[in-house]
Structure 1
């Protein structure tokens, strides 16, 4: 389908159409850090389950973070969240299992934001789930190894937020966590915003573009 811009109601409508199709459907929802992916996906999930309870599940990319010990050994702990700090092969493998009609219950990892670690096999997606909302920064990134996900989605969405708004939201996030100005500067200009530019400029064109301009992130 041709790329088109949608508001939230349009996003719900497009996702609802997927629930009417045979077989399991996957919607990939991407966006830069601070673009409001999690909030958007949770709102979308809440809207969809009013139509078909238990028919929708969320699969966040963040569950595939490398553990901090692995990142330390890689020399990449300060850049946690960059494209090379995720188990992309594991992500691809789980998506393939979720496509496999012979799989009845697939265990997926969940990122614990309180502990800042990924917990393996923390959630079960059963075979009666018809629609899976896959969300993450890099799921449309057109570079190896992320481009292995290219054929994983039936519909793709990019959340569009201007960089100055991303900066404002991300600064507020790190201030909320009590980081020092030096740490915030590293987070913003050393990691988050460069990662966001990669998402914006190096991702494949999505089917739908959603402009998320609310204050929630």
Structure 2
């Protein structure tokens, strides 16, 4: 079991290694990934760390409707995985090779300047382009999402772009309660929320868990 202070120290050490690094936090839906990423960024400060969520690459509702995937929202094929990979490569400012494997590459140089990443607005349930500025001097990007350790399709490219990957393993009963509560807050009635979790979120959670062994650290916050 780790404390948030210990994890912040580990993230700070990664940020201090001399060129831009990317820390990935993976885990199943409702694990608390975005909460942990925000805590780390707050502890390190805006000049050191910025959070870039994978959820910014959700396909828009109109596109999900067009391709018939609305009822599967949250599954791997309901994201623009190739777009996410392209952004990680741009944030590295290199050809995408992890800095540990290519110290000769100046991964701290980010193209021509600030890179703008998309966010995901849960009140709208839509991605919002150009929402998160990542300035060239920021040494640590914290990215979080379900499929950072997934090894199928475009997702398979993500792991090599992360200097360090953590897998957040929460108490399962608490995780499911969080998911139901989240869906209720965003408009579903409790019965529909529980049905969505069972039909959609939990199959995705099992898929995410299959990548746990690819993490550098399994995080248990108790």
**Shared fold (TM-score greater than 0.5)?**
yes
Q: Displacement, 1:58? A: 0.7
Q: Does 1:20 align with 2:16?
A: yes
1:195 equivalent among 200, 204, 208: 204
Within 1, Cα distance between the matches of 2:154 and 2:114? 26
How many equivalent residue pairs? 206
Equivalent positions of 1:1-217 (< 5 A) are 6-49=2-45, 53-100=46-93, 101=109, 103=111, 104-213=113-222
Root-mean-square deviation (Å):
1.6
TM-score by length of structure 1 reads 0.88
Residue segments in structure 2 that go unaligned for 5+ positions in a row: 94-108
Q: Displacement, 1:111? A: 1.0
* Alpha carbons 1:141, 1:204 under 8 Å: kept: no
* Alpha carbons 2:91, 2:110 under 8 Å: kept: no
* Alpha carbons 1:111, 1:118 under 8 Å: kept: yes
Q: Secondary structure at the match of 2:51?
A: strand
Q: Secondary structure at the match of 1:45?
A: helix
Within 2, Cα distance between the matches of 1:12 and 1:186? 36
* Alpha carbons 1:36, 1:212 under 8 Å: kept: no
Q: Displacement, 1:207? A: 0.8
* Alpha carbons 2:25, 2:168 under 8 Å: kept: yes
After superposition, the C-alpha distances for 1:126-161 in whole angstroms (9 at most, x for unaligned) are 101110001111111122221111211111111001
TM-score by length of structure 2 reads 0.87
Q: Secondary structure at the match of 1:145?
A: helix
Distance 1:196 1:212, change over 3 A: farther
Q: Displacement, 1:67? A: 0.7
Residue segments in structure 1 that go unaligned for 5+ positions in a row: none
Within 1, Cα distance between the matches of 2:184 and 2:203? 19
Q: Secondary structure at the match of 1:212?
A: coil
Q: Secondary structure at the match of 1:34?
A: coil
Q: Secondary structure at the match of 2:210?
A: helix
* Alpha carbons 1:56, 1:131 under 8 Å: kept: yes
Q: Choose between structure 1 and 2: higher strand proportion.
A: 1
